[in-house]
Amino acid sequence: MIVRRLALALLLTAHAPDVSTAQQGQQLLGQFTDWSAYSANGASGKVCFVIAQPKTRAPEGLNRDPAYFFVSHWGGSRNEISVQAGFPLKPGSTVDIDIKGAPFRLVTQDQLGWSNGQDDSNIVNAMRGGAEMIVKSTSGRGNVTTDTYSLKGISAALDAAQGACP
């Protein structure tokens, strides 16, 4: 299960689009305020996902690549959560998410975080009911970072992705 989730996270982040434009092989299903929904054909079949970038990143001034938060549907799986931090994460660390005071924790490897598979639906339900999501992580250099994502449009984006990958 972990290898499968890591493979999906690598697939998505390797081809992470500028959230306003579709990349080759991806079809933009729609832009929904701060979230975009896409479908793509992968080696294992059709993949649908929603993606957003943080509205704010703290502390400012750190040298890091863009961050992305994904919710994916593929191969019969639903609502798989993953995050691309935009920098190497501290080995053995976690990515901590807060949505309206509800805490969630993601496991990490390299620049990626993903849920243990037990919290995916709970995270998605909290996202649907929230206004913003705080994502905290620790870089390999020990910097604690906070990315804040708007959840405006998440429900419509998820509905579009689920409709394209029933």
Give the pLDDT confidence score for residue 118 in this predicted structure: 78
Residue 24, pLDDT score: 60
6 pLDDT above the threshold of 50: no
Instruction: Look over the chain and give the mean of its residue pLDDT values, rounded to a whole number.
Output: 88
Prediction pTM value: 0.86
pLDDT tens by residue, 135-164? 999 999 999 999 999 999 999 999 999 999
DSSP E strands: which ranges in the chain?
A: 26-32, 35-42, 45-52, 56-58, 68-74, 77-84, 94-99, 102-109, 112-114, 132-138, 144-150
Can you give the pLDDT at residue 148? Answer: 98
Q: Report the run of H or E that residue 158 belongs to, with start and end.
A: helix 154-164
| Domains of the chain in sequence order | 2-164 (2.60.40.1880)
Region 46-55: mean pLDDT is: 96
